[in-house]
Each structure stands twice: as structure tokens, then as C-alpha cells.
Chains A and B, each alone.
Chain A
């Protein structure tokens, strides 16, 4: 049975539907991110999980028991969860140790047990030496560690994180990203993590739910979101991509004079039960990294599609070149990422080779 499950959960503010019939289930010990642009409803979803926001429709269940449904919401304090907030919400009137001990005191643990567990968790987050400090004497990263300790020390049934790293500078953000994953590996707390930063979600999560306009577009392991995006939104949101309009006819995908058997593609056309004689427009996603550039027509194609073209723009990004290649005699334009040593001048002729297994049809 799933630890936490959402069943057709919706939330409306006036005429605006912020969360639209969401379904999601987390296994015990799983780390799932809600990833999406701002305004996609991810924070509202998280606050419904916490019990701060009531759903308008659907239900949320914890260990199979409904904790949120329209008109009946278990208050946050009785859910056995904990949460890390965007503002950290470290109480400035209490020391680090008092902040961390707060939840334990509410659970009526003995003073000695409380002190022991506070000491332990502060060591785990490397804040043991600063237990007596007040929050105003801590840096942003240290406050973040206190927030983590305070949330984990109560051994919550579910840990919720609301964009916890968005107030940190870039270096600290990267460090804390691994810290959060490390703590998860150590304690295996079922975790829901809200972020708009895909690198953050990739580094921390077992699975990522990509959200857009109140709906979940795709839930998958991070690398599958990249290699097998199922929707146009996911393909464009996770990494960069080339989206090509193509036509599907007689089980063959065709675009700009290229024809590839649909069976050879990385992902099969999803809508089955299509009559084979029907033809329809489809979108194909090709990652820039999958477009290989050659100075001469490659001798052995290995089943790759090869198209001649000319370099029309280029940008050097330090780690790689970013080329825009225009297909010769066709309107095809592809972005291609090439190693820094792979230098082509603008206007020179190249041959683009793409393995069909790296082409994905998206909805």
C-alpha cells in the first residue's frame, strides 16, 4: 500500500483552477519531486498535503486513510508530518537547540531523550557546535541545516520541502542538494520536494512529477524524463530539445524528406489502436546532444538518419559548442551540441547524423 496517495485532488481559487484532478502515489521511503514552472500548482499541492489548504475535490490518503477531503481536513498538527519552508521559518526567539527540540517536546519525550536526539541530529547536519546560537547569528546555509534537523528529528511519516534552496546562493545550493539526498539515504523518510529547479530535482529524487498548469504531465525517474519525455512540455522543460513537426503514416515517421520506420524510434507512438492507414501530425523531440556533426558523409551510418546541412549560427559555451545547422534544400533547422574541440566555421557544410533511438514522439 502506498504511504501517501492523492486521488483526483483539485483546488480552485475563484474561477482559476490551480490544481486540476491530480493523481499521485508515493511508496514508503520514496523521494518524489514536484517540478514545474512557477504557478503550476506545485506549492498548493504541497500545502494540501500538509493540511494548510483544503482540497475542493478528491482526497489525500496517508497509509490508506483519508486525511484530506472537501469539508473534512485533518489539521496539520495531527498528521505526523514535518515540513521545510521556503523562508526556513526558524523561530528567531529560540536557540538552535530549542528550535530542534520543539517537536520532540510536543511529543512528550523525556528531557533526557529530547536532549540526546537533538544532539544526535545536530551532529548529523554538522551543527553540533552551534546548538546555543540564535538564528540571527547563523548564515543562510546554517539556518537551512537547522530547518532540516528540526524536521527530521521527529521522524515524520512524510517530509515536505517547499523550495527549500531557493534563498541560497548557487554554491550552497549545490552543496545542500547533496546534503538533502544524503539525509534521505540515511533516514529513508518518505519525502515530497517542491522545486522549479530541474537540477535540484534530478540530484535529489527517486522520481519526478513534472507539473504544468495544475496537472501532472509525467512521473518518471529523472533519466527517463530526459530520454523519454512523453509530452511536448516535458521535452521542452527538462533540458533543451529540438521539436520537429513530422507526419506519421503507414507506421513510418516522415519529416523534411526523411523517413524513419516508427518501430525504430526510441518511444513508440503512444495512442495505440490507430488504424494503420491513418496519417496524422506528430512532434518529434531530438536532444541537441543526439545530433552528431560530421565533416564528410559518415561511412558507416549504423542505422542513423543522415542529413546534409550548413552551420548557420554558433555559440561557444565553454564546455561545448552550440551550433544551429540548417538542412540543405529543406527547411529543417536543428540545434546540435558538440565538444569544445569540434570547431566548425559558420557557413561550412556538415552532415548531421541522428540515431532514431534518440528520437521520441511527444504528445
Chain B
């Protein structure tokens, strides 16, 4: 042993002989830098998560101006029949949408996961399309399709049958619920399919050999095994529906259907009554927390193979001619959710008057030209959207990575607190979070209202759970021994992280970044409460255009928004893999 390394090691060892005499500054130097990072992260998470939520709670008990304790806000928020009706409408809407979504998605998930149905790629494309399509764009598409007077479907129905009543009026409670379900069903699909993927064919074989046919087996074995996933999907769609702002605003307000989110928006019309809004947001928050709790309990229940991950062989079930029925179902849902709305939107965006349909003399580029070259806000909003989302995604991934590393490697005793805070926004509806950010940071002392920073902070906090789930999975996938192997060979922790761990999680983190970017770029409910005149995002501008009622320009702007999203989706699929958006997290 003559190398200098061993001498260095020997002197290092000599310095630590007789542990009782180790001087205090040596001990201090041996403290993991993680402890300091922990403090910093705790501070950041307090500002991003705890402060807005705490402020929301406080403000709901404060008197406007004086800040004195009062219950008047609650009295105002629940004192009118109209407000109570909105609450009831939200619950009914959530239940209806979730039911429709489950009915649409479960057969699709079963067919894709377990059977030899043709066109699985097409079904995937439909699900991905529905997932990427912002709900409010779907809503606009359905107004063009099923508006009571000039919607294509109703026009066709009347000319075919001579009836005077519309076939399907989108401006109705059922219309609203249907449109929401058509944009939200991918959540159920992903939940149920990933659970079905874990059911071994032997489970079904065991039922077959005892005399059960394909359908009995599906009803009695396959579906019951994934029951928790179905309920989980139902709950998620329910929560999405009651927290959704765009679709209820675009369809519900003209149809005079008031729900919680649109009512909250009305509290923000001049004069802004943020105290009342805070009080009125409480049920939304409590229901979400409670339902996520229920879902956790359901999914934690033992005894379902879908949770053990034990696989075994999986073979597709042969459906015979019936596979075309399943294919028709999947194609039909895909058509209703993506194909039709997207077609009419595209048609309208290139039309002089959308109602005249596809005709050569109806074609124009005027709508796009107007937006790109003449509109005062359109291009600014695109730029805003891209850079707000990019900064928020970067911040969220960076925070999530640090928290995930500290929690996964158990570097500090209280690390789990950080993990809990990073996941907490998952149970806070976006619209509630936006009101919290408004209450905490819009006014003095920080006076961030209308600034880009406020929106970026809100986006970062709102999508932190997505980034955290992603980063946590990435870190867990790197065996700790990978780092330990570097350390025992003489590399410090920071060097081991930068040389070994970082390159290994790079790709997964990129996927997380893109996912946050994409959902942030279409976020409406959090943005609409926080934007100022110069900080409008595409989603907010799109909503403004929908209020103006010019559907051709609106459709063209929707086309631009989709184009921006698609660019990043394609980048993600190229770099990270086809399914990077549809993984269950």
C-alpha cells in the first residue's frame, strides 16, 4: 500500500482516533449538508403550501378592512338559497359525471387490458387525446356540436326527422355532465387498466375451468378484483368535476346552472369579496380531503391481487365476433370525446362562419391572422403561458427532487414532514388554492397581484405533487447501493449524487418536467383568479374569448393552444416514451 490515497486515508483515520476527543468543529463538519437543505426546503414549502392555506382559513373568519374575528362571512356565503343550490348542483354534477365516466371507461380498460379487441392503438390515441385536450376546449367543441339551435348534431337531426326540438341540448345539466365526463374519463381508464394489467390470467383460467364463461368471469372475477381501482377512478373524476371551472363557466353560465366554482368566480367580480369566497370554498376543500382519504383506505386494502403486483402469465381473452362490439364502443367514445369536438373546432377555426360547415367559399385564414398579427393579447398570452409553465415546472421538479431524495434516503429524522407538505396540494382543489394565494400574497405586504411571480408560485405549488410523485419514483428506482458503491471507493455524497444518481434519474425527471409543463400550460381555474391585465395566460384569454362569443376566433385560438401543447407532448413521447403522460401516479 504505497499510493497517496491510502496515506490520505491513514491521516484521516488518525484524525478520528479516540472518538471521545473528537473536537466539536470536526463533528460540525461531519453534519450532512442535507440538514441545511432540509431547513431551506421546509421554508419554501411553508411559503408555497402552508401559508396560502392558512391564510385562506384565517381570512374566512376576518372582517373586511379591520381583520377582526367574525362569522359574518360564513353567514353571507351560506345565507342565500342561490348559493346553497350551487353547492347542491356541484355535488349532483360530480356524481353524474363520475358515473358516466366510469360507464364509458371501464369497458374500454377491460377491452384494452384483457382482450384481443382490434384497434388498441387507436383506443390509446383516443384516451391520450382526451387527456391532452383541455376540458374547456372540449366544452367549446360540444357547443358547436350540440348547441340547441345551430349545433351540427341538432341541425342534422331536425333536417332528418323534421322535428322541432333538439336531439341533445348541451346547455343543460345532463349536457354539462356529459361533456365533463367525456374529458375526464381517461382518469378512470388509467386507474382501471393499470389494475387489470396486474391480474394474472390464471385468475380467469381458474374461473373458466370451474365452468364460468367469459362474461361471467369478467363480472365475477376480473372486475371485482379491480373494484378499488374503479372506485378510486370514480372518486378522482368526482373531485375533478366539482373543482372544475372552465366547462361549468362556458356551458353552465349560459344555461343558468350555478355551481360552486362559478359562484366563487362571482364573488371575485367587483367588488372582490375574498373573505366570503374563502368561507364558501371550505366545503370544496373538506370534501376533497375526505374523499382522498376514502380512496387511500380503499386502495390500501389488502387481499386484492391488483395491489400485490404479483403477476404471472397474461394472455388476451378471445372475444370472437364480439370484439367488434368492444371496438365500436371504444371508437364511439373516442369519437365523442376527441374526434367530433376536435373536427368542429378545426373547421370553425378555418371558417368565415362556422355554421355553414365545410365549404370551399367558407375557408379562411383570417381567424389565425387576426390572432397572430393583430390581436393585442394573443401572442403575449402564448409567451406568458410558455414561460410561466416552464419556470413553474423547473421549480416544482427541483423542489420535488430534493424532497424526494431526502425522504427516500432518510437523511434527516423529520424528512417525512417535507414529503407530506409536497403532497398536500394534491388534496387542495386548484380554485381553492388560487383563492388562498390571492388572500396570502395579492395584497400588502407583498402586493403580488397581477405579477408573473404570483402565477408561477401558484402553478409550482399546485403541481408539486405531480413532480414529487415522479421524482420519488425516479429516486426509488436508483438502488442506494449505486451511490454507496461510489462512496466506498472514495467519493463524497455530493459527488456521488452528481456523477451517479443525477445521470440515472435525468430521463424520468424530464418526463416529470414535461408533465407539469403541459398541465400548467392549460390550467385555467387557478390562473383566472390571479392574472392581471399583462399576465393573461392562453387558458384565461380563451375563456375571455368564449365570453365574447366569436366562435371562429375562439376555435382558432384553441388550435394555437393545442399546437403548443402538442409540441411538448411529442417531445415528451420522443424523449421519454409513449406512455409518459398516462402513467398512474
Tell me the A residues contacting B by CB distance below 8 Å: 50-52, 59, 62-63, 65-67, 69-83, 85-87, 89, 91-93, 102-103, 106-109, 150-151, 154-155, 157, 160
8 Å CB contact of A74 from B6, B12, B18: B12
Per-residue A-contact encoding for B12-47, CB less than 8 Å = 1, 0 else: 111011110010000100100000000000000000
- Residues of A contacting B487 in the complex (Cβ-Cβ under 8 angstroms): 52, 75-77
B504: nearest chain-A partner, CB-CB: A93
- Does B209 belong to the interface (CB within 8 Å)? no
The answer to whether B490 touches A157, judged by C-beta atoms less than 8 angstroms apart, is no
A47: nearest chain-B partner, CB-CB: B484
The winner among A62, A63, A91, A150 for most chain B CB atoms within 10 A is A91
CA distance A226 to B168 in the complex (A): 86
The answer to whether A77 touches B488, judged by C-beta atoms less than 8 angstroms apart, is yes
- Residues of B contacting A80 in the complex (Cβ-Cβ under 8 angstroms): 5-6, 9-10, 490
The answer to whether A76 touches B484, judged by C-beta atoms less than 8 angstroms apart, is yes
A153: nearest chain-B partner, CB-CB: B489
The winner among B10, B14, B488, B489 for most chain A CB atoms within 10 A is B488
Q: How far is the CB of B11 from chain A (nearest CB, A)?
A: 10
B482: nearest chain-A partner, CB-CB: A89
Per-residue A-contact encoding for B126-155, CB less than 8 Å = 1, 0 else: 000000000000000000000000000000
Q: How far is the CB of A13 from chain B (nearest CB, A)?
A: 12
B13: nearest chain-A partner, CB-CB: A65
Q: How far is the CB of B397 from chain A (nearest CB, A)?
A: 20
The answer to whether A157 touches B1, judged by C-beta atoms less than 8 angstroms apart, is yes
Q: How far is the CB of A68 from chain B (nearest CB, A)?
A: 8
A/B pair count, beta carbons within 8 Å: 114
- Residues of B contacting A67 in the complex (Cβ-Cβ under 8 angstroms): 13, 16
- Does B571 belong to the interface (CB within 8 Å)? no
- Does B293 belong to the interface (CB within 8 Å)? no
CA distance A85 to B482 in the complex (A): 9
CA distance A282 to B16 in the complex (A): 47
A99: nearest chain-B partner, CB-CB: B485
8 Å CB contact of A76 from B3, B6, B488: B488
- Residues of B contacting A65 in the complex (Cβ-Cβ under 8 angstroms): 13-14, 16-17
- Does B289 belong to the interface (CB within 8 Å)? no
CA distance A355 to B485 in the complex (A): 51
The answer to whether B490 touches A83, judged by C-beta atoms less than 8 angstroms apart, is no
Q: How far is the CB of A253 from chain B (nearest CB, A)?
A: 48
Q: How far is the CB of A275 from chain B (nearest CB, A)?
A: 44
A52: nearest chain-B partner, CB-CB: B484
The answer to whether B490 touches A71, judged by C-beta atoms less than 8 angstroms apart, is no
Tell me the B residues contacting A by CB distance below 8 Å: 1, 3-6, 8-10, 12-14, 16-19, 22, 27, 30, 479, 481-482, 484-493, 500, 503-504
Q: How far is the CB of B201 from chain A (nearest CB, A)?
A: 27
8 Å CB contact of B484 from A89, A103, A150: A89
Q: How far is the CB of A55 from chain B (nearest CB, A)?
A: 10
- Residues of B contacting A78 in the complex (Cβ-Cβ under 8 angstroms): 8-9, 12-13, 490
By secondary structure, the B interface counts as helix
The answer to whether A107 touches B16, judged by C-beta atoms less than 8 angstroms apart, is no
Q: How far is the CB of A114 from chain B (nearest CB, A)?
A: 12
The answer to whether B481 touches A107, judged by C-beta atoms less than 8 angstroms apart, is no
The answer to whether B489 touches A103, judged by C-beta atoms less than 8 angstroms apart, is yes
Please give 10 more A-B residue pairs, beta carbons under 8 A apart, in addition to A81-B488, A91-B482, A106-B490. Answer: A51-B488, A63-B13, A67-B16, A69-B19, A76-B484, A77-B488, A80-B6, A85-B481, A86-B481, A107-B3
- Residues of A contacting B19 in the complex (Cβ-Cβ under 8 angstroms): 59, 66, 69-72
- Residues of B contacting A106 in the complex (Cβ-Cβ under 8 angstroms): 5, 489-491
- Residues of A contacting B14 in the complex (Cβ-Cβ under 8 angstroms): 65
12 A-B pairs within 8 Å (CB atoms) are namely A63-B13, A66-B17, A75-B487, A75-B492, A77-B489, A82-B489, A85-B484, A89-B482, A89-B484, A89-B485, A91-B486, A102-B489
B503: nearest chain-A partner, CB-CB: A93
Known: A72-B27, A91-B500. A50 touches B13 (CB 8 A): no
The answer to whether B17 touches A79, judged by C-beta atoms less than 8 angstroms apart, is no
The answer to whether B491 touches A91, judged by C-beta atoms less than 8 angstroms apart, is no
Q: How far is the CB of A74 from chain B (nearest CB, A)?
A: 5
The answer to whether B488 touches A107, judged by C-beta atoms less than 8 angstroms apart, is no
The answer to whether B491 touches A77, judged by C-beta atoms less than 8 angstroms apart, is yes
The answer to whether B16 touches A66, judged by C-beta atoms less than 8 angstroms apart, is yes
- Residues of A contacting B8 in the complex (Cβ-Cβ under 8 angstroms): 78
The answer to whether B9 touches A157, judged by C-beta atoms less than 8 angstroms apart, is yes
8 Å CB contact of A155 from B3, B481, B486: B3
A80: nearest chain-B partner, CB-CB: B9
CA distance A57 to B14 in the complex (A): 20
The answer to whether A155 touches B1, judged by C-beta atoms less than 8 angstroms apart, is yes
- Residues of B contacting A63 in the complex (Cβ-Cβ under 8 angstroms): 10, 13
- Residues of B contacting A103 in the complex (Cβ-Cβ under 8 angstroms): 489-490
CA distance A67 to B18 in the complex (A): 9
CA distance A87 to B503 in the complex (A): 19
CA distance A157 to B1 in the complex (A): 8
The answer to whether B504 touches A92, judged by C-beta atoms less than 8 angstroms apart, is yes
- Residues of A contacting B9 in the complex (Cβ-Cβ under 8 angstroms): 78-80, 157
CA distance A73 to B29 in the complex (A): 12
8 Å CB contact of B5 from A85, A102, A154: A154
Known: A82-B489, A157-B6. A66 touches B18 (CB 8 A): yes
Q: How far is the CB of B409 from chain A (nearest CB, A)?
A: 11
Q: How far is the CB of A65 from chain B (nearest CB, A)?
A: 5
Q: How far is the CB of B165 from chain A (nearest CB, A)?
A: 64
Known: A59-B19, A65-B17. A91 touches B485 (CB 8 A): yes
Q: How far is the CB of A350 from chain B (nearest CB, A)?
A: 49
- Residues of A contacting B481 in the complex (Cβ-Cβ under 8 angstroms): 85-87, 89
Known: A91-B482, A92-B504. A77 touches B5 (CB 8 A): no
The answer to whether B490 touches A107, judged by C-beta atoms less than 8 angstroms apart, is yes
8 Å CB contact of A72 from B10, B16, B492, B503: B16
